[in-house]
Amino acid sequence: MPVISAPHAFNEPQLFVDLRSIFGRSLFLKCEGFNFAGSIKLKAAVEMVEAAEREGLIKPSSILVESSSGNLGVALSMIAASKGYRFLCVTDSRCNLSTRLLMEALGSRVHTVADLGTNGGLLSARIDHVRALCASDNRYVWLSQYTNPSNWQAHYRKTAPEIAQYFPDLDVLFVGAGTTGTLMGCARYFRQWHRPVRIVAVDTAGSVIFGGAPGRRLIPGLGMSLRPPLLDESYVDEVIHVEETDTVRACHRLAGRGFLFGGSTGTVVSGAMRWLTEHGSDDLTAVAIAPDLGERYLDTIYQFNWLRDVYGEDVLEADATADSSWAAKPEPASHRRRPRHHRQAHDTDGDPYRRPGKA
């Protein structure tokens, strides 16, 4: 029986769900929501805070600040409360009400931006606000999940080895893409592993992480309106984009069997099942990472009035015939295969993610 004195000291690393009985194809879902922060973001939050402590960046007068759509903000709120730090989360209107209330219950301040930023997006507006805070008061310490190497290192050291321990014959790993910390940490680990592992990134439609035109995105978690600086596409073999309606259907399909997962998990599961159906092989050992649970989505993804208003009356009808929901479809333009050693240079001049005072 574990006995802890700090909330971030507990994180269940060993829980996997076999989705075959629900979707008809073998996929092992690594559940990352069983900790006091409720999501995989706890790992990155702990790593970033502890690195800042080691570097002497956090002082008694410091105020931690971060831009987050929700889950990282909760994790940092919990850690700040445990360690006696002050924390300000800068979020936007897509952040679920329950998530904002949770951060405030933990003693954090939450600022919600409403106007678009210099790059025309809500993420850009959040970053602009963080940068303005840091410029106005040197007590603010921006952990910068978008550029902080501790973000991906947390998953290189923890998440990927946890998967490798239980699946030594792993063939394909599905990872959702946001800041790409989880994606890059796992991809780097398995690039050095004893056997080839296909890394499939799952992104939400309307995200510009891997290029393409920006579009409306209402479910927080995965996707970005700016290219994440942590991303190195040479580690990614394929990319799948998932429509939000398919995210919703996957979440309800899981909930119908008693598994209440969050929007990021629904997106990853939907993309993974599409990939497995298109490839038509049931001999692969496939794992997908479930970043979160579903309680924070009760007023959106699991609220029928919200679904009807946002996506229309028939948003769930396509899932009524379970056996055909994941039938093979023609490969869309957004499902792209990538050569293993493709590399791409990144121009970071004028980078909106750059922290004040950093070259």
Q: What secondary structure does DSSP assign to 108-169, as a single string?
A: -EEEEE-S--TTSSHHHHHHHHHHHHHHH-TTEEE--TTT-HHHHHHIIIIIHHHHHHH-TT
Q: Are strands 86-92 and 63-67 parallel, antiparallel or unpaired?
A: parallel
Q: What pLDDT score does 326 carry?
A: 46
Least-confidence region, from 142-151, 293-302, 317-326: 317-326
Q: What pLDDT score does 347 carry?
A: 35
Kindly state whether residues 212 and 287 are assigned to the same domain: yes
**Quick check: is 345 in a domain?**
no
**Quick check: is 349 in a domain?**
no
Kindly state whether residues 176 and 258 are assigned to the same domain: yes
Kindly state whether residues 16 and 82 are assigned to the same domain: no
Q: How far apart are CA 78 and CA 103, in angstroms?
A: 8
Q: Whose CA is closest to 247, among 225, 274, 269?
A: 269
Amino acid at 14: Q
Residue 39 DSSP one-character state? B
pTM score of the predicted model? 0.88
Least-confidence region, from 63-72, 115-124, 167-176, 281-290: 115-124
**Quick check: is 131 in a domain?**
yes
Kindly state whether residues 242 and 105 are assigned to the same domain: no
Check pLDDT > 80 for residue 224: yes
The boundaries of the domain holding residue 55 are 41-142
**Quick check: is 278 in a domain?**
yes
For 114-118, which contacts have Cβ atoms below 8 Å and span 24 or more sequence positions?
117/352, 118/352
Question: CB within 8 A of 18, min separation 6: which ones?
Answer: 26, 27, 28, 29
Q: How many CA atoms lie within 13 A of 112 on its CB side?
A: 13
Question: What does the pLDDT look like over 134-181, one tens digit per residue?
Answer: 999 999 999 999 999 999 999 999 999 999 999 999 999 999 999 999
What CATH number corresponds to the domain at position 74? 3.40.50.1100
Choose one of 142, 170, 185: the last residue of a domain. 142
Mean pLDDT of 300-307: 93
With 0-12 / 13-18 / 19 or more C-beta atoms within 10 angstroms meaning exposed / middle / buried, residue 28 is middle
Q: What pLDDT score does 2 carry?
A: 80
Check pLDDT > 80 for residue 269: yes
**Quick check: is 263 in a domain?**
yes
Least-confidence region, from 47-51, 82-86, 106-110, 319-323: 319-323
**Quick check: is 354 in a domain?**
no
Q: What pLDDT score does 72 carry?
A: 94
Distance of CA 358 to the CA centre of its chain: 26
Q: How far apart are CA 152 and CA 112, in angstroms?
A: 26
pLDDT top residue among 221 and 203? 203
Measuring CA to CA, how many Å separate 50 from each of 53, 75, 151, 181, 279? 5, 13, 11, 16, 42
The residue behind tokens 């956090």 is: 58
3-state secondary structure of 88: strand
Kindly state whether residues 96 and 245 are assigned to the same domain: no
Q: Whose CA is closest to 275, among 4, 25, 37, 9?
A: 25
Q: In total, how many domains does the chain have? A: 2
Q: And the tokens for 86?
A: 């002050």
Binning pLDDT at 50, 70 and 90, where does residue 213 land?
confident
**Quick check: is 279 in a domain?**
yes
Check pLDDT > 80 for residue 343: no
**Quick check: is 130 in a domain?**
yes
Kindly state whether residues 205 and 331 are assigned to the same domain: yes
